[in-house]
Chains A and B, each alone.
Chain A
Amino acid sequence: MLKVENITKSFGGVQAIRGSNFVVEKNKVTALIGPNGAGKTTLFDIIAGFVEPDMGRVLLNGDDVTQLLPHERADRGMSRTFQHARLFRYLTILDHLMMATDNADTKLWQNIWRRERVHCDEYDAILEQFGIKRTLDTPVSDLSYGQRKLLQIAMALRRGHQLLMLDEPVAGVNKVIQEKIEQLLLDLKARGETVLLIDHDMNFVRRLSDRVICLDAGMVVAAGTPNEVLSDPKVMEAYLGK
């Protein structure tokens, strides 16, 4: 599904990513782990097109997408979330979900002459499914941190997608929402979605993922099944320091 080839990136002399290679297989949940500053989010940004790599290629279903802009990659089926949910401060929950639904809103003329019918039931069902106990017309600035994260995952799922990329989906949220999100992800896994996620919590990763890739100082130090990787001495070393 996704192939990352020889990606290198440095920021002002500091090498953030040094020649990373890995693949994300179809219908599997792949976790990207590693200590703070290992370059996980940078790698995510490179895959999604927000950061341009110095070298290397990103392939989606065998097509080279390295030159494509973020929105073009999104249209090809990459659907991502951010560590801190990026929502639009003056808009409502409904606006967000509609925006994720399709790209009809980018068409200027169509929007001026026609008024679209909104199927609120459909959107209410999403809120129900994600356990967001708010009405559709709530401005997102009123949501809690956890609710924002839930909404963002809901939006990522709502988009037509092949590959879901979740950046620390459960970090910083309370126990209840954490369990809610984990349950949602297990459902996704059962449905055979392809997921690439970043997380710190080892137990969470073990329960959820089919494959684990460990990143340290911008390099892939281990890759394999959760048990293989989590018992790898190099991974322990990466986490505990040398």
Chain B
Amino acid sequence: MTAYLVQVFTLILIYIIVAASLNLAIGFTGLLSLGHVALFGIGAYTSAILTKDVGVPFMPAFFMAGLLSSLSRLFLTVVTQKLRGDYFAFVTLGFNFLVVALAQNWISLTRGSLGIPGIPRPVIFGLTIKSGGPFLLLTTVVTIGSLFFLYRLTRSRYGRLLEAVRDDSVGASALGKDVYRLKYQCFVVSAFFTGLAGSLFAHFIQFIDPTSFYLSDIIIVLTIVITGGLASLTGSILGGFIILAIPEILRFLPITPEAVGPLRQMIYSVILILILLFRPRGILGKVDID
């Protein structure tokens, strides 16, 4: 039972990193960026390939995961810089399909749909991080670090400037602020932490394949962000615990294992729709997007 709880907790923390960085991208720019599952996947694959096939130690691989994810996001931002609203959302959503297709077909690198098994355990300063408690500790450290960075960022003048750009970019540029550069930075930072989370995920599960990064995962993260409230980091943390804990109850109900996935997806969708209908700002949200 303890082992099980440690597992669930680790996974929740990993998702909280992704949700908090997605919240930075959506809540502080007002653009519905849906490419985060792909970025998460890029981080996971980078770290897995580097440590397993290339033999790079965990620490550099971990940061490379963040970096490569940032670079991909930078590319996506350059391509989409003129788009807004629905179109931005769709193109970033499409990015997921592109990345999954790559993971499935670039067989020499990713082994395609066979996936990458046996991803080594992280080794930090000669210490192997075993699964269970030690891994939870590592995840906790990374989560706190990421959240601290994001907290400082959003609470600083920089964060307030981001909010200003979100609410009126014309007014902000009249004050001499480079609104494009701000959006770029915001997305890149967001992608960096998502990539780190991806790396943690790969070393936690120790096996990844393209199906781990499918569309339905974006709904989980989006539900966390919207339930917690846009532009509220505390909201995303709270949302993460609530949203990810609910479906765990399913494990104790008499249902077949195959039904768990779809049922979970249905629960997320229902929560998402109910929140949008009855509490559009989420639990702790302060802003509306339109």
Contact = CB atoms under 8 A, between A and B. Distances in A.
Interface string A102-116: 011111100111011
Interface string A9-50: 000000000000000000000000000000000000000101
A86 B168 contact: yes
B175 A99 contact: yes
A98 interface: yes
Interface string B139-158: 00000000001001100111
Interface stretch (A58-66, A69-77, A207-215, A219-227): A69-77
Interface stretch (A89-97, A180-188, A231-239): A89-97
A103 B158 contact: no
A103 B177 CA distance: 7
Contact of A86 (B149, B158, B170, B286): B170
A89 to B, nearest CB: 5
B158 A88 contact: no
B210 to A, nearest CB: 33
B50 interface: no
B89 interface: no
B174 A74 contact: yes
A69 B176 CA distance: 9
Given A50-B170, A91-B163, A105-B161, A111 B156 contact: yes
A123 interface: no
B181 A106 contact: yes
Contact of B177 (A48, A71, A90, A115): A71
Contacts of A99: 157, 160-161, 164, 172, 175, 177
A61 B172 CA distance: 24
A88 B167 contact: yes
Interface in B59-95: none
Contacts, number: 95
Contacts of B168: 86-89
Interface in B168-185: 168, 170-179, 181-182, 185
B138 interface: no
B171 A82 contact: yes
Interface residues of A, number: 32
B158 A105 contact: yes
Interface in B99-152: 149, 152
A106 B180 CA distance: 11
A135 to B, nearest CB: 17
B271 interface: no
B30 to A, nearest CB: 11
A149 interface: no
B189 interface: yes
A69 B174 CA distance: 10
Contacts of A103: 176-177
Contacts of A171: none
A111 B171 contact: no
A100 interface: yes
A155 B171 CA distance: 11
Given A71-B177, A106-B158, A91 B164 contact: yes
Interface of A: 48, 50, 69-71, 74-75, 80, 82, 86-91, 95, 98-100, 103-108, 111-113, 115-116, 155, 159
30 contacts: A48-B174, A50-B170, A69-B178, A70-B174, A71-B178, A74-B174, A86-B168, A86-B170, A87-B171, A88-B163, A89-B167, A91-B163, A95-B160, A99-B160, A99-B161, A105-B157, A105-B158, A105-B160, A106-B177, A106-B181, A106-B182, A107-B158, A108-B158, A108-B189, A111-B156, A111-B159, A112-B152, A113-B152, A159-B175, A159-B176
Given A86-B168, A86-B174, 17 more contacts: A48-B174, A50-B170, A69-B178, A71-B174, A71-B175, A71-B176, A74-B175, A75-B176, A80-B174, A88-B172, A91-B164, A98-B157, A103-B176, A105-B158, A106-B158, A108-B185, A112-B149
Interface of B: 149, 152-153, 156-161, 163-164, 167-168, 170-179, 181-182, 185, 189, 286-287
